[in-house]
Structure 1
Amino acid sequence: MNIPFSPPFIDQNVINEVMDTLKSGWITSGPKVIALEKEVVRLTRSKAAICVNSWTSAAIMMLKWFGVQEGDEVIIPAYSYCATALCVLHCGATPVMVDIADDLTIDPQRVKMAITSRTKAIIAVDIAGLPCDYNTIKTLIRSAKVRALFVPNSDEQRKLGRILLISDAAHSIGATYMGHSSALSSDITIFSFHAVKNVTTAEGGCACLNLPGNFNHEEEYKFLKIFALNGQNKDAYAKSKGANWKYDILYKGLKINMPDICASIGLAQIKQYKRSLMPERKKIAEKYCNILSNYEWFIPPTLKDFSRESSYHIFPMRIKHITEAQRDHIIEDIVAFGVIVNVHFIPMPMLSYFKKTGYNIVNYPNSYTQYACEISLPIYPTLSDADTDYIIDAVIKAVQAQMLHSKRKELAMVKTSYLPG
């Protein structure tokens, strides 16, 4: 059997939507992008949504919108994909990495310790689709003590009057927090629509705005749409309509717009997301937990608790009492069964670039502990019951084989220690 890790969901609805775009004669930014933005607003209940070409682009755009620049600091978890830090670096600011809690999300107590007068934003990462502890973080940044530390250097910073809370929701579209869309839990929520995500546009991202009432969301949306197209006041679709060729450049913008051909894939998926695509993921996650919980070595991921429910994007299984090397051997054995698995994530301080710039994994012990025993299992709507049975069987056999090997090795060492001389 050959089971891939995370293939894109392509059904006839997706094909029909893409063909409609191709036949329309318009494939770059236009009506399909607008339609996708409206669907994101409908799903998340956000006040506005701006689709661009990647999560990273959306994050850079929103940090620049807020005026983040050289000399500023942005607090992020050490346990995340590199884009969480790179978007900060691309604005000239410093990523201040902190450790995580046992559920893999950013530790609010570590955030509290990292705040300085240079802190302009916090990027909290919803690992695997599980929302962070947003209420604790919001209470912290709204406290009088932390507000007094905040030094605004832009109009947006002065208007907000505190640290900006950004949700790195690359994994968590459709997740809930306190019974509501988790997108409503931060000032800015940024989704990824990369090929492996729950909703994909092949490549893409979306920034959702849920700012305080003194911000005009309609005006912010208009500004960001222009900013995402080189600061140009008319997009190509508008210019194509009659004698409408004149345009102006209003801002020093970015060229990060999403094309319609990409938006059409996501548009077809998001329309069936809550009805079928996410429930199928949930069913698989629950099956993994129900069966693997019979084994004492299994550490289940947090899928749902009193305040949060995941989007079931990744199933980050962890295994008790193993080393990083043993985890790697288990992965090799699972792959030998024809099941492709993954690891989410290699902590950023372990990556060459970040090591060279001064980050050290010893300062993030829980990030390393969780990484060293984590294996991400396939979880997507097209997996059959037979597929998931096979995956579970492969995991059990691989883990038990490694544990048997480790026991034999320990016994051999004990016997050797009793040999004379």
Structure 2
Amino acid sequence: MKIPFSPPFIDDDVKAEVMSALESGWITTGPKVKALEQETVKYAGIEQALCVNSATSGLMLVLHWLGIGKGDEVIIPAYTYCATALAVMHVGATPIMVDVKDDFNIDPEKVRAAITNKTKAVIPVDFAGWPCDYDTLFTVVNDKEVTSIFNPKGDKQEKLARIAIVSDAAHSFGAVYKNKKTGSLADFTVFSYHAVKNLTTAEGGAICITLPLPFDNAEVYRTLRLWCLNGQTKDAFSKSQVGGWRYDVVYAGFKMNMPDVCAAIGLAQIRKYTTSILAERKRVFEYFSSEFSKNTWAEIAPFNDDVSCCSYHLYPLRIRGVREEQRDQIIEKISLAEVAVNVHFIPLPMLTVFRELHYNIQHYPVSYQNYSCEISLPIYPQLDNKLCEHIVKVVRDAVKETIGQ
């Protein structure tokens, strides 16, 4: 029985929405992108959201808007996908990696210890869809000792008057923290709508803009929208209207816009996200948790408590007491049974590009420990309980063959 890791959720509604875009004769940025932005705003309970061509682009655009560049530092977790760090590097700043907690998310105390007068932002990552401790992170950046050494560069940083919090919520669309949905928890939140995410546009992402007063979030949206379209005052859709050909370029911007044909996929999905897609992912997650809680070797990831509820993006199963090599053997046995699994993530300091910059995994022991025993299981709506039962059996058999439990 062959089970893929993370196929996209494509039903008749998705196909119809995509066909609608194709038949309209307009497939790049236009009305469907605007509609998806409005649906994102409604879902997250915020004021403004801008759709872009990837979460990586979204992070870069936000950092650039904040005026972050050469000589600046941005604190990130060592346990994340490379895009978190690369976005920082691409604007010319230096990623300062800190360790995570046992729940996979950035450790606020490590953040506090890493802050210098060069720190301009912190990018917490909601691993597997489990929200970070945002209240504590804001307490850290608003601490008088921290604000006293904050060295603003440019009018936006001066107006904010503290280190910015930019949430990498690539995994957490639909998650909740203290009765608020992700998208509303930081100064900026960047969602990923990549093909393997809960909500997909094939490629894409969204920037949620929730800056405090005196910022005008609508004005920030207009600026970022202009910048993601090469600094051009009219998008292609507006230019295509009768008499709308004249435009200007007022900023040396970027090409980061989302096309309508991609937005159409997400538009169909977001309309049934809570009642169908998220609910079915929760069913799979809870099935696995119920079954693996019977095994003493299984460590279940956090997914629901009095404060937070995750988005069920990944099922990160940790195998107690195994070494990295044994974990790899377990994965090999699972793969031979044609169940596709993954590992999230190889910590950044273990990757060549960062290792060559002298980041050392020995400085991030919790990140390494989480990685060394973690296996990400398939989790998506198309998995019925029979398939889930098969996955559980395959994993149990592989663990038993490897460590005898």
TM-score normalised to the size of structure 2? 0.99
1:132 is matched with 132
For residue 146 of structure 2, give the secondary structure of its aligned residue in structure 1: helix
1:209 Cα deviation (Å)?
A: 0.7
- Number of residues paired by the alignment? 405
Alpha-carbon distance between aligned partners in 2 of 1:113 and 1:306, rounded to the nearest angstrom: 28
2:328 is matched with 328
1:179 is matched with 179
For residue 244 of structure 1, give the secondary structure of its aligned residue in structure 2: coil
2:319 is matched with 319
2:207 is matched with 207
Alpha-carbon distance between aligned partners in 1 of 2:48 and 2:381, rounded to the nearest angstrom: 28
1:418 is matched with none
> CA offsets, 1:35-54, max 9 Å, x none?
00000001101221000000
2:148 is matched with 148
User: How is 1:102-141 mapped onto 2 (pairs within 5 angstroms)?
Assistant: 102-141=102-141
1:361 Cα deviation (Å)?
A: 0.3
Given the alignment of the two structures, is residue 249 of structure 1 paired with residue 249 of structure 2, yes or no?
yes
1:413 is matched with none
Given the alignment of the two structures, is residue 356 of structure 1 paired with residue 361 of structure 2, yes or no?
no
Alpha-carbon distance between aligned partners in 1 of 2:154 and 2:306, rounded to the nearest angstrom: 38
Q: Which piece of structure 1 moves more, 191-200 or 141-150? A: 141-150
Alpha-carbon distance between aligned partners in 2 of 1:131 and 1:167, rounded to the nearest angstrom: 10
Alpha-carbon distance between aligned partners in 1 of 2:19 and 2:87, rounded to the nearest angstrom: 34
Alpha-carbon distance between aligned partners in 1 of 2:250 and 2:272, rounded to the nearest angstrom: 38
Alpha-carbon distance between aligned partners in 2 of 1:228 and 1:182, rounded to the nearest angstrom: 23
1:164 is matched with 164
For residue 183 of structure 1, give the secondary structure of its aligned residue in structure 2: coil
> CA offsets, 1:291-324, max 9 Å, x none?
1111100000000122111000000000100000
Alpha-carbon distance between aligned partners in 1 of 2:223 and 2:355, rounded to the nearest angstrom: 37
User: How is 1:5-404 mapped onto 2 (pairs within 5 angstroms)?
Assistant: 5-404=5-404
Alpha-carbon distance between aligned partners in 2 of 1:257 and 1:180, rounded to the nearest angstrom: 28
1:336 Cα deviation (Å)?
A: 1.0
Alpha-carbon distance between aligned partners in 2 of 1:27 and 1:189, rounded to the nearest angstrom: 26
For residue 207 of structure 1, give the secondary structure of its aligned residue in structure 2: strand
1:102 Cα deviation (Å)?
A: 0.0
1:354 Cα deviation (Å)?
A: 0.3
Alpha-carbon distance between aligned partners in 2 of 1:127 and 1:252, rounded to the nearest angstrom: 34
Letter matched to residue 390 of structure 1: H
Alpha-carbon distance between aligned partners in 1 of 2:137 and 2:219, rounded to the nearest angstrom: 27
Letter matched to residue 184 of structure 1: S
Alpha-carbon distance between aligned partners in 1 of 2:145 and 2:177, rounded to the nearest angstrom: 26
Letter matched to residue 157 of structure 2: Q
1:237 Cα deviation (Å)?
A: 0.2
1:182 Cα deviation (Å)?
A: 2.4
> CA offsets, 1:37-93, max 9 Å, x none?
000001101221000000000000000000001000000000000000000000100
Letter matched to residue 334 of structure 1: I
For residue 243 of structure 2, give the secondary structure of its aligned residue in structure 1: coil
Q: Which piece of structure 1 moves more, 244-253 or 342-351? A: 244-253
For residue 124 of structure 2, give the secondary structure of its aligned residue in structure 1: strand
Letter matched to residue 160 of structure 1: L
Letter matched to residue 207 of structure 2: A
Identity %: 52
Structure with the greater alpha carbon radius of gyration: 1
